Amino acid sequence: DLDPVPKEQRTWSGLDITNYWLSDNFAPATWMLGSSLVALGLTARQAIPLAFVGFTCIGVVISLTGRLGATCHCTFPARSSFGTLGAYAPILVRSILALLWLVILTYQGGGLVVVMLGAIWPSFLNIKNTLPEDLGITTQGMVGFLILWLFQAPLACVPIRKLALFLKIKSVISIVAFVALFIWALVVTKGKGFLLTGTYDEALLPQGSRAWAVIQGINTCAGLYSTVSINIPDFSRFCRQPKSNWTQILSLPISGTIPIAVSILCAAAAEQNYDAVVFDPASLCALFDSRAARFFSAFSFFMATISVNVTANSVSFATDITSVMPRYLTIFRCSALAGLLCWATCPWRIVNNAPSFYNFLGAYPVFLAPVAAIMATDFFLIKKQKVDIREFYNPQGMYRYFYGFNLRALGAWLFAFAPNLPSFAHAVNAANPDVQPYTYHFSWFFSTFTAIFWYWLLNWLFPARATFIDEAVY
């Protein structure tokens, strides 16, 4: 599973990469990002351009790290920068977040199934709850969770190279659904409404500054795909040609901005039509009077949830855990394990009993952004794209550095995320003092550029000459 992809299995084109982003972005996570921007006091006219800028920034980084996979065609690019053993640190950090998002989105997707079943059989919504109240989930919710899991678990075990067709089908369904929602919202609002044309509300931001709102908005969008910026080689390694990877620079920001624009417009329409501002897809779908509208809108988000969970979460977790013990584990086995953990973790208890959990997930890019920055800096600036993939699999090879650890990478990583730790702790638990909030408001940018600077400086002062080669071996 972790060997370099054979030439005959390199089947992805630039269009497949674009479909991947259409699949990931036309989904509940990106849709609900609109609520985060509105919470900063921004209107649609302000939030949409900021979203495009933020997604463009992360798109550049993802294209750079994706180049590693598209060139080397393997899943071990972090070893060349962090070392054969040091690479396990970012792998562990990434796999934890992937698993957490997997179980949470699976639980939330169950709500979409409830809407779909209620649209087909309205009596389903009146089923008596037979589960204990302190469990944190109703009978309806459990049925929805089970059905989504039954669809998702088998797909998660399909080899990555065979997911291209599924992503194409899902992309078409999502585009049609989003266009329909956009037209509905436009007809209802006629381009009017406070969320669309209102003014910036300074009371919503502690600093009371439009500049801080702009910075935080861009930072929020850029940080959304910090996980993907590390694991994109898992997909780009299947590219037929390395140049196919560069399509992400445009496909990511375009496909990411559209759902945010539609979500804010739909929230404004719901406010005018139903007197309720909702950004949660399940809640929005449940508002429609037409049973057909409720079903098909919920179905599109249902497909999107499964797609994101398979490509962005399950595959990432499975690949990471497999790389820890490749002799005993495979991506198939770890994907099956991830499916079982969706039940073992009881996500309904996590979501309902720990409100700060979402703050933890939102703050996690503090750790991930510098990892991607170090990987890209190492490949392009330090090693000049000249690596030997044979050494990725050699524990005693040139990428062993100091007993398996590249202290330059680990040091740059520490310098990048350490200043934001107090604010990270405050985000998780408000009782912790927020002694230094300023860099945290643009934590993705701060962590990224700090990691680039320190990694370049440490390599300039203490170059790892043993890893410099004249010709690349891919």
Residue 198 scores a pLDDT above 70? no
pLDDT of residue 50: 92
Mean pLDDT, range 333-344, rounded to an integer? 94
CATH class of this structure's domain 7-467: mainly alpha
Give the residue, 202 or 133, on which the prediction is more confident. 133
* SS3 sequence of the chain: CCCCCCHHHCCECHHHHHHHHHHHHCCHHHHHHHHHHHHCCCCHHHHHHHHHHHHHHHHHHHHHHHHHHHHHCCCCCHHHHHCCCCCHHHHHHHHHHHHHHHHHHHHHHHHHHHHHHHHHCHHHHHCCCCCCHHHCCCHHHHHHHHHHHHHHHHHHCCCHHHCHHHHHHHHHHHHHHHHHHHHHHHHHHCCCCHHHHCCCCHHHCCCCCHHHHHHHHHHHHHHCCHHHHHHCHHHHCCECCHHHHHHHHHHHHHHHHHHHHHHHHHHHHHHHHHCCCCCCHHHHHHHCCCHHHHHHHHHHHHHHHHHHHHHHHHHHHHHHHHHHCCCCCCHHHHHHHHHHHHHHCCHHHHHHHCCHHHHHHHHCHHHHHHHHHHHHHHHHHHCCCCCEHHHHHCCCCHHHCECCECHHHHHHHHHHHHHHHHHHHHHHCCCCCCCCCHHHHCHHHHHHHHHHHHHHHHHHHCCCHHHCCCCCEC
Give the residue, 473 or 358, on which the prediction is more confident. 473
For 345-382, write each residue's pLDDT tens digit: 998 888 776 656 667 777 788 899 999 999 999 999 99
Maximum mean pLDDT: which of 148-152, 167-171, 271-275, 365-369: 148-152
For 70-101, write each residue's pLDDT tens digit: 999 887 678 899 999 999 998 888 898 899 88
Average pLDDT, the chain: 88
pLDDT of residue 439: 82
Mean pLDDT, range 250-265, rounded to an integer? 93
Mean pLDDT, range 188-194, rounded to an integer? 73
Sequence ranges of the domains in the chain: 7-467
Residue 200 scores a pLDDT above 60? no
Give the residue, 410 or 213, on which the prediction is more confident. 410
pLDDT of residue 305: 93
For 427-461, write each residue's pLDDT tens digit: 777 777 777 667 888 899 999 999 999 999 999 99
